[in-house]
């Protein structure tokens, strides 16, 4: 069973190498990618069942004892996020194949997309499974290296500007991350997540608070927390829809996961943290207001992505079982819904030839299936019952009310306001894009680009993959009871941390 922990990292890396070798055979590349991501989803499902019934699964690479060796750990939280992420990456890959973003232009095949996409998936898996800060840094660098390639394919002036912002912010974040690791190692003598809590507890309170805030800044940049969010709405919308979908669904959530893991396992918070609550409120409100001010469909969805990161920060800042359970539910819901919305945006763009809400109309009349595929995740994102977003938000609102501090009540009210603003933004998209008379498709602005827009045609693969993600978001609501119970168990594990430390260090090592 322990060997399964390394497969979500190893399989996509091996497949990426094979995909490069098979660069002249696009069909082989496509089949290889689909098979590997399907296998990762199966492995993640097995790990989820195993960790929920018997506790964390640990693999010590190379046989070196912790905290000196490289440790991979799968617990309830990491296995659940790994499963959801595998399903999303599989759906996005199928969409990409149908859209032909996997081909470089319409005449020649690309050898770069599939290897880089698989490397990105390996980085996401490693971030969920790593048991130390340094390999978490390695995971982020793997993701960033592959994302640089994916976001800059088929360079245009707009993409050059956006990619420069993305690269500069990412490199700055990486420098801060490696500096943080150096400071942690200097202060404690280890970077192992299971060994850090006892070492951190021995430090002066001021040093502990400084390190905790440093981690919030580092991972806050990656998660796009306000005021560290400015890079995201400028960079994500310029990429093709499937690239934006996987970035929005996973890269920011890995930053959120890193915040959850470090702030619960490494540091002890006996009560809610006002700094995080303030950041959560700012992130929710600023992101939502930014969204309703947009006319570009992808920029609006990008600002909503920023806004709803605030919900996850809200639940984390409370440091209660119910709050963290709400965060886990919200992350699972948001990964699927946000990816689905960006894929629907790709469908709309394919039909209309534009992302401007003022230049499109009548999509519901011309393509009713696309309207349905948009409406379901949009209602879920706005928190309308009985969708998954409503279930997750109710858990967070309940947690805020139970904490009962003035700041918790304030952020709870801000969460309700953000839901209303999100509903307004979704209504704005619906009125602009779907109502009215059918508008003539806009001409393709770049006929040499890899995606033909304004054609009024979509492939079956694009519709099936988008529909599959929408179905997953609906199933999250259908199985909200069992999922909420699992999330509560995962939250209790996060706040306690004992099972994680014992699994990694052993009973003796954890007691030392």
- Cis before 386 (ω within 30): yes
Rounded CA gap, 512 and 496, in Å? Answer: 17
Identify the pLDDT of residue 258: 95
pLDDT of residue 62: 78
The tens-digit pLDDT sequence of the chain (512 residues) is 788 999 999 999 999 999 988 877 888 888 999 999 999 999 999 999 999 999 899 998 877 777 778 899 999 999 999 999 999 999 999 998 887 765 444 444 456 888 999 999 999 999 999 999 999 999 999 998 898 888 876 666 666 777 788 888 888 999 999 999 999 999 999 999 999 998 999 999 899 999 999 999 999 999 989 888 888 888 887 778 888 899 999 999 999 999 999 999 998 888 889 999 999 999 999 999 999 998 888 999 999 999 999 999 999 999 999 999 999 999 999 999 999 999 999 888 887 877 888 888 788 888 889 999 999 999 999 999 889 889 999 999 999 999 989 999 999 999 999 999 999 999 999 988 888 776 666 655 554 444 554 455 677 888 999 999 999 999 999 999 999 999 999 999 999 888 899 998 886 555 44
* DSSP assigned state of 405: -
pLDDT digits (tens, 9 = 90+) for 15-51: 999 998 887 788 888 899 999 999 999 999 999 999 9
DSSP string, 462-480: HHHHHHHHHHHHHHHHHTH
Query: What are the helix (H) ranges across 319-387?
Result: 321-352, 363-366, 368-382
What does the pLDDT read at residue 110? Answer: 57
pTM above 0.75, yes or no: yes
Q: What is the pLDDT of residues 51-67, one digit of tens each?
A: 999 989 999 887 777 77
DSSP for 34-76, please give it: HHHHHHHHHHHHHHHHHHHHH--EEEEETTPPTTTSEEEEE-H
- Check whether the bond before 67 is cis (ω within 30° of 0): yes
CA distances (Å), origin 452, targets 351, 466, 493: 10, 18, 48
What is the total residue count of the chain?
A: 512
Distances (CA, A) of 383 to 145, 286, 299, 373, 445: 35, 18, 20, 16, 36
């Amino acid at each position: 069973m322990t060997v399964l922990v390394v497969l979500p990292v190893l399989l996509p890396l091996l497949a990426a190498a094979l995909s490069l070798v098979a660069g002249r055979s696009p069909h082989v590349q496509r089949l290889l990618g689909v098979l590997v991501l399907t296998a990762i989803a199966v492995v993640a499902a097995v790990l989820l069942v195993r960790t929920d019934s018997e506790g964390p699964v640990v693999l010590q690479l190379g046989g070196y004892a912790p905290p000196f060796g490289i440790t991979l750990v799968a617990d309830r939280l990491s296995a659940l996020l790994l499963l959801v992420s595998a399903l999303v990456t599989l759906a996005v890959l199928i969409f990409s194949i149908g859209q032909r973003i996997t081909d470089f232009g319409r005449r020649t095949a690309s050898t770069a997309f599939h290897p880089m996409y698989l490397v990105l998936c390996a980085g996401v898996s490693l971030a969920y499974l790593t048991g130390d800060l340094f390999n978490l840094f390695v995971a982020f660098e793997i993701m960033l290296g592959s994302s640089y390639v994916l976001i800059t394919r088929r360079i245009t002036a707009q993409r050059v500007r956006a990619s420069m912002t993305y690269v500069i912010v990412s490199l700055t974040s990486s420098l801060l991350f490696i500096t943080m690791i150096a400071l942690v190692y200097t202060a404690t003598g280890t970077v192992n997540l299971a060994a850090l809590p006892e070492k951190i507890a021995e430090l002066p309170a001021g040093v502990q608070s400084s390190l905790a805030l440093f981690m919030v800044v580092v991972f806050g940049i990656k998660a796009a927390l306000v005021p560290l969010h400015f890079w995201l709405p400028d960079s994500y919308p310029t990429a093709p829809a499937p690239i934006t979908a996987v970035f929005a669904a996973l890269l920011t959530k890995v930053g959120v996961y890193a915040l959850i893991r470090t702030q619960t396992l490494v540091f002890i918070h006996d009560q809610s943290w006002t700094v995080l609550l303030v950041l959560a409120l700012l992130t929710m409100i600023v992101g939502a207001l930014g969204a309703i001010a947009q006319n570009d469909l992808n920029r609006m969805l990008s600002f909503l992505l920023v806004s709803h990161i605030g919900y996850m920060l809200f639940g984390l800042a409370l440091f209660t079982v119910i709050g963290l359970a709400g965060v886990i539910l919200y992350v699972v819901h948001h990964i699927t819904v946000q990816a689905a919305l960006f894929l629907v945006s790709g469908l709309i763009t394919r039909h209309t030839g534009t992302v401007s809400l003022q230049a499109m109309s009548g999509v519901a009349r011309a393509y009713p299936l696309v309207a349905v595929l948009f409406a379901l995740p949009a209602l879920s994102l706005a928190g309308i019952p009985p969708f998954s977003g409503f279930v997750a938000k109710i858990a967070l609102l309940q947690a805020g009310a139970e904490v009962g501090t003035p700041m918790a009540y304030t952020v709870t009210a801000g969460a309700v306001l953000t839901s209303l603003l999100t509903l307004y933004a979704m209504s704005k998209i619906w009125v602009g894009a779907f109502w009215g008379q059918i508008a003539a498709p806009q001409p393709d602005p770049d006929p040499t680009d890899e995606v033909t827009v304004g054609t009024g045609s979509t492939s079956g693969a694009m519709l099936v993959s988008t529909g599959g993600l929408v179905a997953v978001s609906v199933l999250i609501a259908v199985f909200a009871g069992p999922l909420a119970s699992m999330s509560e168990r995962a939250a209790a594990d996060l706040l306690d941390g004992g099972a994680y430390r014992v699994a990694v260090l052993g009973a003796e090592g954890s007691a030392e």
